[in-house]
Amino acid sequence: MTYQEIERAAQAAEATIGRADTAVVLGSGLGDYGETFDHVKRVSYTELPGFPASTAPGHAGEFIGGEKNGKRVLIMNGRFHMYEGIDLERIALPIRVLRLLGVENLILTNAAGGVNMAFHPGELMMITDYINLTGKSPLTGPNMNEFGPRFPDVSHVFTPALQAVCRQVAGEMNLTLREGVYCWMPGPCYETPAEIRMIRLLGADAVGMSTVPDAMAACHAGMKVLGLSCITNMAAGILDQPITHQEVLETGRRIQSDFRALIDRIIMKI
């Protein structure tokens, strides 16, 4: 995919949803957040050149532009995943489009399995770092110099200044906010108990099938990134019960009010 192709997709999106300096990517079970905005405009990914269709349950597959308390925000309502059979440059495409639409601050959200034994379903975790166990990167291939350098520094993919805002807001809300490392696995199977034991030994606190390629592409493009995981279930082997996607979606819906309030206040402060 060329830079010119990404530009064409961005131009098509801008014609409907406009521009903004802040964007939110919504994960599984969190898609209703866009309904809380004013002056909403939408465009389906399938209407944009170069975009595949989103097939994951709980991912609507659309960009939303709207206003919250007078501030313009773009929303990525659903993302693409490697397990859908979509190549990584297409997975990174929406993030690069957002960058061309003026986005400087990017809030990434996801539903994740709790690996840290102290966590509980329904809690929120601020991502401080990631572990990539897929061996894949959306930056593989010819570098797009228009976005960033060939060898980007990933020491602080998740921006400390945005993390400080998140901690402050959570404190003001008296909201329990966990912090930890997110591990990216390819899916679509949930991890085995043995894999979870390995992931815990490596230092991860939560596990999921997304977010890391988004964060890589955003970091490469010079965006400030905040990552938030909704711990929707405990990972395999921790509880003696099966893991289902329905549980993931239901837990995401259950904590919507806390999630919305946290994101709303963060947006107002950045």
Summarize pLDDT for 215-252 with one digit per residue, the tens: 999 999 999 999 999 998 876 556 555 556 566 566 66
Low-confidence residues of the chain: pLDDT under 70:
28-31, 57-59, 235-254
Is 233 part of the annotated catalytic residue set?
yes
pLDDT, position 132: 98
Spatial neighbors of 229 by CB under 8 A, at least 6 apart, are 109, 110, 111, 112, 124, 125, 126, 127, 182, 206, 208, 211
Per CATH, the architecture of 3-269 is what?
3-Layer(aba) Sandwich (3.40)
**Residue from 28, 77, 105, 110 carrying the catalytic annotation:** 28
Distance between alpha carbon 65 and the CA centroid of its chain, in Å? 17
pLDDT, position 240: 56
**Residue from 13, 23, 111, 112 carrying the catalytic annotation:** 111
Q: How big is the chain, counted in residues?
A: 270
Is 120 part of the annotated catalytic residue set?
no
Spatial neighbors of 118 by CB under 8 A, at least 6 apart, are none
pLDDT, position 34: 81
pLDDT, position 245: 59
> pTM of the prediction?
0.93
